Amino acid sequence: MKFNDVKKLSQVDRTKKVLELQNELIKIRGQVETGTTPKSPGQISATKRDIARILTANRQDELAKTKK
């Protein structure tokens, strides 16, 4: 997910997406702990990066509102 795509989402959609990605991250980590391989080796870091992008967009919007 690219940052421009994240910025286009509404606040509610971002919150839903973060929860969805966090649940996915839990599943992936569980797979690693049980010895099952995830779909790709970089899936954990990609999921973490997507979560960070969404949280960054939320923070930028929050700071923009306080400056006005």
Whole-angstrom distance, CA of residue 68 vs CA of residue 43: 38
Mean pLDDT of 3-30: 94
pLDDT classification of 41: cutoffs 50, 70, 90: confident
The structure's pTM equals 0.88
Domains and CATH numbers, the chain: 3-67 (1.10.287.310)
Residues 6+ apart with CB under 8 A from 56: 3
Statement: residue 37 has pLDDT above 80: no
Q: What is the pLDDT of residues 42-65, one digit of tens each?
A: 899 999 999 999 999 999 999 998
Burial class (CB in 10 A: 0-12, 13-18, 19+), 24: middle
Statement: residue 21 has pLDDT above 80: yes
Q: What is the pLDDT of residue 53?
A: 96
